[in-house]
Structure 1
Amino acid sequence: MKFQEFEQHKLYVNNTRLHIRKAGTGPPIILIHGWLGTSYTWRKVAPKLIKEGFMVVCPDMRGYGDSDKPEQGYDGLNLVEDLRGIIQQLDIKEKVHIIGWDMGALPTYLFASKYPEEVASITYLDEPLPSVNLHQFTTFTEENHGGYWHFGFNSAIDLPEILISGNERAFWNYLYGLMLYNPSAISEEDKDEYMRTYASKAGIRGSVGWYKDALTTTEQFAVAIKNGKIIVPVLALGGQYGSVYTHEQLKPYCESIVGGIIPNCGHMIAEERPEYLVTELLKFYEEL
């Protein structure tokens, strides 16, 4: 099945209309994109998982794609309630496998922490761990090449909308140029699809929502970590030229974890190394 053939629905959950793509039958997998992505991020991965016998749900998270772009509600635990609302409206009764990339990894972890009885496994892809090491990467130092400046930039009131408006594609190209190891993994047609919903004031506002609530999410992580280790199985992967520390950083906070580093890959795992990712996922699921 081609990604364009997936069912598309708009669900009203948690006081927000969320757009999803869904296809397949079998054990359910929820795929959560990250910053500047949408459900389209998973176009190379989702069809492969369906072919292997899974049901796949790809939401446009609040603020992204064809979902609503409200002013508020972007903290990690509220995003968890968005996801639970999707699962409930789709009448999914089984435990779900949740895969989160970039900022989408954050609600993935918090979901497993708060509702472990509803989760079969989580996969945490290429992202720091708030309240543990995020401060190391957002501090301006020579060692981290000036730090993750975009956290502060995206948190500034009205500034992203002012500076990015009219320059959305150039800004997107700049960021993805920094994070891609293989630039050919994303075509101009792919960029057109991302711009379709990003290149507007609402699209920019939604894209920075997670960052405006990042400190709240960091506090939520501190509580979750204090409450104990993640008890569901965890797969953690980072790109060789992305967040190579992803697996090692999570180890102390998970009871059962596997993972490592994806070779010849930057930050955009699902777009750069989809075959590798699917192979690792299938191996992980077979051993559960």
Structure 2
Amino acid sequence: MSKGTIKNHKADIKDIKMHYTVAGEGPAIVLIHGWPHTNYGWRKVQAKLAENYTVIAPDIRGAGYTSRPETGYDGDNIADDIRTLVKDHLGFDKVVVVGHDWGSVWAYHYAAQFRDEVVGLGNFEMMIPGTGGHEAGMQPKPDGKFFWHMNWHSVPTYPEELIRGNERKYLDYYYTEFSYNPYSVTIEALNEYERAFTQFGSLRSGLEIYKKFWEHAAQAEKHMQTKLEMPVIAWGGAALMNDWCVESMQHVATDVSGGGIPECGHWVAEEQPDFVANEIRKLAEKAFG
């Protein structure tokens, strides 16, 4: 069996049954997805890194094929879910943790809470709540280019009621509007995200993350009182967040590098998987020595 073969597993983690995939062998790299994504979004990168590393990609609480409880969607708790999987269940004491979108937030909360375990941190296409970037981006702009969905998703009840029954149209909007090359997210991938997104409780769970935005921010503000010292990479798609990710991470860490990914929008692991895998590989080589 090839090292790049991705295997599916489930484990009882705290109050949830967590679905996760593993490929490869060696030191551990953890890949954390965002929303409305699942760990399937990391499949191309996971396979590319598996030659030299054990690459773990969980479905977070409430997403994909992990159970969907009504509570527990703050940053510190989601990060602790993943750490419980990686350390207590799989037995890895030292890890490189990488996130995309909201996954970058939980990767930061993981690193901030368990600094002696996380030896490298990666952020792709996200500004950390509490550092000011998203807070500014949520304010209406005359040209209409602002993160309106961050506000709307946090409104009680109505988003879920309006999206239900229109999930595919909603997903199509995000995967085309926020990509540089809309064909990079394949029909097969969209079908998988729709299948996961329409499961009972999945939409409610995802929107709960946005309702916890300010709790995420408050937790991060406490963590960032002491900056991270492990190596950190931060990359945004040049067509979307670009250098904003680096600027956000400089608020929370001392050793930050990165920039903008050419010809790329938000869905970096699907739009530019070779670039993303290469940057994570370089981070891991530096972090593990």
For the Cα contact (< 8 Å) 2:235–2:245, is it kept in 1?
yes
* Unaligned residue ranges in structure 1 (runs of 5+): none
Q: TM-score, normalised by structure 2?
A: 0.94
* Shift in alpha-carbon separation, 1:201–1:140, aligned structure 2, 3 A: farther
In structure 1, how many angstroms separate the alpha carbons of the residues matched to 2:281 and 2:174?
Answer: 30
Amino acid at match of 1:46: Q
Residue in 2 aligned with 1:235?
233
Task: Using the TM superposition, give the Cα deviation of residue 109 of structure 1 relative to its aligned residue in structure 2, in angstroms.
Answer: 0.8
Q: TM-score, normalised by structure 1?
A: 0.94
Residue in 2 aligned with 1:31?
31
Amino acid at match of 1:236: A
User: Could you list the per-position Cα deviations for residues 220-254 of structure 1 after superposition, in whole angstroms to 9, with x for gaps in the alignment?
Assistant: 0111112x111111011111012111112322431
For the Cα contact (< 8 Å) 1:27–1:94, is it kept in 2?
no
The share of aligned pairs that are identical, in percent, is 32
Amino acid at match of 1:197: A
For the Cα contact (< 8 Å) 1:169–1:199, is it kept in 2?
no
Question: Structure 1 residues 243-252 or 34-43, which shifts more?
Answer: 243-252
Residue in 2 aligned with 1:218?
217
Amino acid at match of 2:31: L
In structure 1, how many angstroms separate the alpha carbons of the residues matched to 2:114 and 2:87?
Answer: 14
Amino acid at match of 2:285: E
Residue in 2 aligned with 1:71?
70
Amino acid at match of 2:8: Q
* Unaligned residue ranges in structure 2 (runs of 5+): none
Amino acid at match of 1:12: D
Residue in 2 aligned with 1:90?
89
Question: Structure 1 residues 276-285 or 261-270, which shifts more?
Answer: 276-285
SS in 2 for 1:117: coil
For the Cα contact (< 8 Å) 1:63–1:209, is it kept in 2?
no
Paired residues in the alignment total: 284
In structure 2, how many angstroms separate the alpha carbons of the residues matched to 1:32 and 1:252?
Answer: 21
User: Could you list the per-position Cα deviations for residues 84-122 of structure 1 after superposition, in whole angstroms to 9, with x for gaps in the alignment?
Assistant: 111134332330110001011111111111111011111
CA RMSD of aligned residues (A): 1.6
Residue in 2 aligned with 1:21?
21
In structure 2, how many angstroms separate the alpha carbons of the residues matched to 1:259 and 1:28?
Answer: 22
For the Cα contact (< 8 Å) 1:165–1:201, is it kept in 2?
no
Residue in 1 aligned with 2:255?
256
Residue in 1 aligned with 2:126?
127
Residue in 2 aligned with 1:157?
156
* Shift in alpha-carbon separation, 1:220–1:180, aligned structure 2, 3 A: same
Amino acid at match of 1:282: R
Task: Using the TM superposition, give the Cα deviation of residue 287 of structure 1 relative to its aligned residue in structure 2, in angstroms.
Answer: 3.2
In structure 1, how many angstroms separate the alpha carbons of the residues matched to 2:85 and 2:185?
Answer: 28
SS in 2 for 1:287: helix
1:110-121 correspondence runs (5 A): 110-121=109-120
For the Cα contact (< 8 Å) 1:14–1:81, is it kept in 2?
no
Residue in 2 aligned with 1:205?
204
SS in 2 for 1:147: coil
Residue in 2 aligned with 1:40?
40
* Shift in alpha-carbon separation, 1:180–1:201, aligned structure 2, 3 A: same
In structure 2, how many angstroms separate the alpha carbons of the residues matched to 1:271 and 1:194?
Answer: 13
Amino acid at match of 2:235: L
* Shift in alpha-carbon separation, 1:22–1:256, aligned structure 2, 3 A: same
